[in-house]
Amino acid sequence: AFPEFTGRVSFPTQELVKILHKALEAAQQEKRVSSAYLAAAQDKDRLELVRHKVRQIAELGRRVEALERERESLVQTAGLREQEIEELQRHVQLLLDKNQAKQQVICKLSEKVTQDFMKAPEEADRDFLSQQEKMEHLKDDMEAYRTQNRFLNSEIHQVTKIWRKVAEKEKALLMKCAYLQAQNCRVESKYLAGLRRLQEALGVETGECSELLRQLIQEALQWEASEASAESVVLGPSTVSEYDKYGFLTVPSYEVEDLRLLAKIQALEVHSHQLLAHEVVQRPLRERWAALGELAPSAELKQLLRAGVPHEHRPRVWRWLIRLRVQHLQAPGCYQELLSRGQACKHPAARQIELDLNRTFPNNKHFTCPTSGFPDKLRRVLLAFSWQNPTIGYCQGLNRLAAVALLVLGEEESAFWCLVAIVETIMPADYYSKMLLASQVDQRVLQDLLLEKLPRLTAHLGQRRVDLSFITFNWFLVVFADSLISNILLQVWDAFLYEGIKVVFRYALAIFKYNEEALLRPQDSLEIYQYLHLFTKTICDSRRLMHIAFNDMNPFPLKQLRQLRSAHRERLEAELNELEQLKAEYLETRAAQGPSAPEGCPSEDEGDAEP
């Protein structure tokens, strides 16, 4: 062993000394191994020593390889560091250049500031005085502008007041104009009613008075909107147009002159109510609908639907109401698939549908005009529904439901889903079945409700054995499609599509309440039936009818309606079962009697034998 060196040396020298120490230790270790090898007595021990040496050599080799890899990695790292150093040097140089440029700019600015301070005091004073004069001028201008602004504000205020007064006056004049036009319609209506009463009073008498009366009636029936005066053209037509917005004749062309006169009187009364309600009701209602954003079920929406949807908003609202009811039934391409099935195979109901197409709304131009596309659309909608619901197929009355939907929605697929919504989600399941079981039940329920809500009228009709179901059955089957004038009909449908069948009961009761006094006057059942066939067309005031339906008929709990339906259904099913038993007994009796003819009656064979 060598003595340890303890003197002070530099850092590289210390590293060199450490390396030499390690080399000496390795040499001494090698010497000890060699001595052990030479001292070994047997070859086995020597072999083991050789193997140990080989292992050491292999370990050293691996260490050398690892060190070589580490060296290469360090070389790469050093290269990257050199690149970074170069980049930093360039960056430092750039910063130095920028700093030098800034120093130059600062020097120039310092020189300029120094030059500015070196200027003559007189020049600075002149500039200061000039700035003061400009400030004074600006103050004068500002004061002038303030005075002018106050004057203009006063003028604008006066003009605004005048404009508001003019707008209020215009609104008052429009309302007065509407009122006068409504009064004109009423006067014309009373004139026609007077002519009708004179005609009834004169009867079939002939003479100069009768001829003059007939001439006056003919002239009254031929009045058209085109004959309006110049004033009415400016202020708005006070006469009745031939068709309404949905294509219905406002004055149906009845063959009987008396009926045509009544229809004209009715149309004038309706127009009068519309004119009076336009400014007071319709305009605020339109504003509320326009302000209504995205539709969602709510109490506010229910009230708006009961009041009626404006014409321009109705298609959008109806589509939303229909989608709300049939979204679980709708599927992409479903309607087109049903039409394809109809083209591939003729439906058994196709013949009845064709027959009913020509009977659909004969007083509507869209279904009577030869060039109109509505009949073809209606045919496709009804055929598609026949394939959609094979348990019903087609039932008379569905054509009018689909026709109303087409008139409002325009698109036949939307009308198809409207029909599906009514038949499959709003009405009971067997409302349009062959037996019309649920429809019959509802007629009995209506009788009970009439007895509760209108006992005096029910007693009057009962004493004269008037069966209202002859009139009301169709109301429920087609939701008043043939009974009410179009603007009231569609208002009923607005609420019906949202609230359901209860709306039909409400309006059915309201119609009888609306005409209760007129129905109590006739004492003869035939006269009552004649009036019942026409009395729904005499309803002019939609606001009054709506108020009766949703206020005067309260309370109207759905629970009561369900209980009445359940009770009457049980009774009706029992009656039908009894009829079936009687039918079966009758058939058994006839079968037991045999087909033999009574004694004395010639048989068919004997008849054939005669020459």
Q: How confident is the model at residue 541 (pLDDT cuts 50, 70, 90)?
A: confident
- The whole-number pLDDT of residue 507 equals 97
Q: Which of 57-61, 441-445, 485-489, 541-545 has the lowest mean pLDDT?
A: 57-61
Average pLDDT over residues 520-529: 92
311 Cβ neighbours under 8 A, 6+ residues apart: 245
The helix/strand/coil state of 556 is: coil
% of the chain at pLDDT higher than 70: 77
Q: Tens digits of per-residue pLDDT, 482-514?
A: 899 899 999 999 999 999 999 999 999 999 999
Give the global pTM.
Answer: 0.64
Q: How confident is the model at residue 10 (pLDDT cuts 50, 70, 90)?
A: low
Average pLDDT over residues 40-51: 75
- The whole-number pLDDT of residue 229 equals 37
Average pLDDT over residues 370-385: 94
- The whole-number pLDDT of residue 489 equals 95
Q: Whole-angstrom Cα distance, residue 590 to residue 235?
A: 77
Q: How confident is the model at residue 226 (pLDDT cuts 50, 70, 90)?
A: very low
Number of H helices, E strands in the chain: 25, 0
CB 513 within 8 A of CB 552: yes
The helix/strand/coil state of 248 is: strand
- The whole-number pLDDT of residue 235 equals 40
Q: Tens digits of per-residue pLDDT, 247-304?
A: 998 766 655 556 666 666 666 666 666 666 665 667 788 888 988 888 999 999 999 9
The helix/strand/coil state of 560 is: helix
Neighbours of 413 (CB within 10 A): 17
pLDDT at 578 over 60: yes
- Main-chain dihedrals φ then ψ at residue 249, nearest 5 degrees: -65, 125
Q: Which region holds residue 258: left if phi is over 0, alpha if psi is between -120 and 50, else beta? A: alpha
pLDDT at 589 over 70: yes
Neighbours of 512 (CB within 10 A): 22
Q: Whole-angstrom Cα distance, residue 500 to residue 232?
A: 42
Q: How confident is the model at residue 134 (pLDDT cuts 50, 70, 90)?
A: confident
Altogether, the residues listed in the chain come to a count of 611
Q: Whole-angstrom Cα distance, residue 507 to residue 497?
A: 14
Q: Please give the mean pLDDT across all residues of the chain.
A: 83
Q: Which has the higher per-residue pLDDT, 360 or 58?
A: 360
Q: Which has the higher per-residue pLDDT, 63 or 450?
A: 450
% of the chain at pLDDT higher than 90: 41
Q: How confident is the model at residue 153 (pLDDT cuts 50, 70, 90)?
A: confident
pLDDT at 573 over 90: yes
pLDDT at 558 over 60: yes
Q: Whole-angstrom Cα distance, residue 401 to residue 424?
A: 13
Q: Which of 111-115, 168-172, 474-478 has the lowest mean pLDDT?
A: 168-172
Q: Tens digits of per-residue pLDDT, 386-408?
A: 999 999 999 989 999 999 999 99
Q: Which has the higher per-residue pLDDT, 121 or 330?
A: 330
Q: Which has the higher per-residue pLDDT, 136 or 476?
A: 476
pLDDT at 173 over 80: no
Q: Which residues pair with 364 in a beta bridge?
A: 248
Q: How confident is the model at residue 238 (pLDDT cuts 50, 70, 90)?
A: very low
Tokens describing residue 376: 């073809």
